[in-house]
Structure formats: C-alpha cells, structure tokens
Chain A
C-alpha cells in the first residue's frame, strides 16, 4: 500500500517564476493538507482541501493556491516566487470519518530552492 507521494523531489526556480507541486494521498484518504517548512523550523500550515474545495487556510498570501482533483490528488501552486519561498513543502493526507478529520500522514516533501 503506497503512502503519500509527492513530486518532484527537488526543484530549482528563479525569482518571479511560478511553480506547481503535486501530491497523491495515501490509499483511502480524501483530505489533503499542505505545509511549508523553512530550514530549522517546524512545518507551517498552508491550507487543506476536501471535496475539491479549500476548507481552511493558514497565514499565507494569495500567491499560494491549490487544487484538488476528483481522485483526491492535489496541487500546490506558488506564483511570483520570492527567495523566502525556498523551503521543504510537505503534503499530508487523512481521511474523514463522519465529517471529522483523522490522523494526518505526511509525504517525503518537495525541496524548492528559489535563486
């Protein structure tokens, strides 16, 4: 049973460019959350998707947007990249039981470097 998968593993972009990161949730999971982890810090919540809609958002600008597909996979898009967007981007998946979010399981992450 495959766990949470993310692609690509590493990515290098320049300032001002746009990037798309992808996540496939664990089998049986329907909820996807995205986190940003800067070097030396704990992960910070970006947003969560369920039923193809953004359900909760952290303190991130509109340059960060997402999408969830009918097969529950998800994309994170970041526009107008800044040097400060360099980080490890983590996807976590979970299931919902009676509308409640269960334990989140993380993927390996995508390392984004902005030059």
Chain B
C-alpha cells in the first residue's frame, strides 16, 4: 500500500501558484519524498525529491515540514500544461532495489 495520502483533486488558476499537499506520517529516517506527475496517458515525469531540507529546481519547489510527516509541492506559476495527476511517493533512496509504490495521486486542474 502507498505510504502517502493526497487529496484526490485540486483546482488552480493559471498564473497562480499551485500548492499540492502530501501526508506521510509513517515516513522513516532514511526515506525520501519523491514527486512525479503524469499527464493524461503519458509516462510519469520525475519532478523533484528531498529528504528533510527544502528543495527547488527548474520545475518546482518541495517544502518538507520539520517533523517530515508532510510536504508540499509548489508550482510557482501554473500553466494549462501543468494539468496532470501528481503523485507523492516515499522511498528509500539508493537501496539495492527500490520499487516505486504509487497511490492514486492528486488531479490538478489548471483553469484559464
């Protein structure tokens, strides 16, 4: 079973920041938080990952709470092309074999 909880859907206005929450209350010390997104019928796209510090790349920012029990993915200026299902996944980074366990994700709908 997935170790994360996400809202099933969210709306965001184009040009505004999209803030996608994720709860992972049972996360252990060696587990990272990963975010992927999947645009309709395409393969999942890697966005970002982090352990305990906030992370930022060209796509998004990841804010992880101090107790690491939840996180927020931030798309600073959402566009219509950001409409997708966003998956939050916890996994051990760099284990010998590490499958990704996907939940049902959050469907983000960016509105014009």
Contacts and interface: CB of A to CB of B under 8 A. Distances in A.
Contacts of A111: 41
Interface residues of A, number: 30
A88 interface: yes
Contacts of A99: 96
A108 B43 contact: yes
Contacts, number: 64
A42 B3 CA distance: 13
B68 interface: no
A42 B97 contact: no
B96 to A, nearest CB: 6
B2 to A, nearest CB: 8
Contact of A88 (B2, B41, B93, B100): B41
A60 to B, nearest CB: 12
B45 to A, nearest CB: 7
B111 interface: no
Given A41-B104, A45-B101, A100 B96 contact: yes
A55 B97 contact: yes
B44 interface: yes
12 contacts: A33-B100, A42-B2, A50-B97, A100-B95, A101-B97, A102-B94, A103-B34, A104-B46, A104-B100, A106-B43, A106-B45, A109-B43
Interface of A: 4, 33, 35, 41-45, 48, 50, 55-56, 58, 88, 90, 92, 97-109, 111
Interface of B: 2, 34, 36, 41-46, 49, 87, 93-105
